[in-house]
Amino acid sequence: MKTLKDRLQEGQQISKAVENTRRSEQKRHSKIKKRITFIIEQPFSYFITFTLTNDYLKLNFNTYTKKIRQSLKGSKLWIANSDYGSKNDRLHFHAVACYIDQLDYNTVLSVWQYGSVDFKPIIRKDEKSIREYILKTTNHALKLSVGRIIYGRLNINRKEVKTC
């Protein structure tokens, strides 16, 4: 996504650059919210947190994202983000993912060998709960300490997408 600075360097007038940046952010927020909404509404959806042990804190960032992608390969749709803890400023990752069937925890654990993995199934599917999950997860993915958002591609034909 282009920054305000990028837009100004391209020669956009300041008012136009600000407006384009604002619209781009709104579009990004909307896409993230739609994706999270879809994932959470599925029968087999999970919040997943990937943590790092001290031995693996200094690896290249792309190494982590590659392993997260491999760990979530069995899911139909997911979104993840890097984050830094508020207490220790320690890197970790959060993901929301949906699966066609019950998640095989051992598959994820066998790929992610840099620390621990915490799985929380999304159980309550009533309207109020889903709204709260969406708000919390979207806000978390967009907060200032998030380093990067990582998107998984939809692994099924988009025309057939009704549920994961």
Alpha-carbon distance 90 to 94, whole Å?
A: 13
Q: Please count the structural domains in the chain.
A: 1
Cα-based angle 120, 150, 85 (whole degrees, multiple of 5)? 60
Burial class, 87, CB count within 10 angstroms (exposed 0-12 / middle 13-18 / buried 19+): exposed
Which residue bears the tokens 């925890």? Answer: 105
CATH number of residue 110's parent domain: 3.30.70.1910
Residue 123, pLDDT score? 83
From the DSSP assignment, how many helices (H) and strands (E) are in the chain?
5, 5
Alpha-carbon distance 23 to 29, whole Å?
A: 10
Alpha-carbon distance 64 to 71, whole Å?
A: 10
**Stated pTM of the model:** 0.77
pLDDT (tens place) for every residue of the chain, 164 residues total: 788 888 889 999 999 989 988 898 888 878 888 888 888 888 899 989 999 999 999 999 899 999 999 999 889 899 888 888 777 778 888 888 999 899 989 999 999 999 999 998 988 766 677 667 666 666 666 665 555 677 776 644 444 455 55
Distance set, CA 105 to CA 109, 110, 130 (Å): 6, 9, 23
Residue 117, pLDDT score? 96
Alpha-carbon distance 120 to 28, whole Å?
A: 26
Residue 138, pLDDT score? 65
Q: Domain containing 86: what range?
A: 4-160
Residue 159, pLDDT score? 44
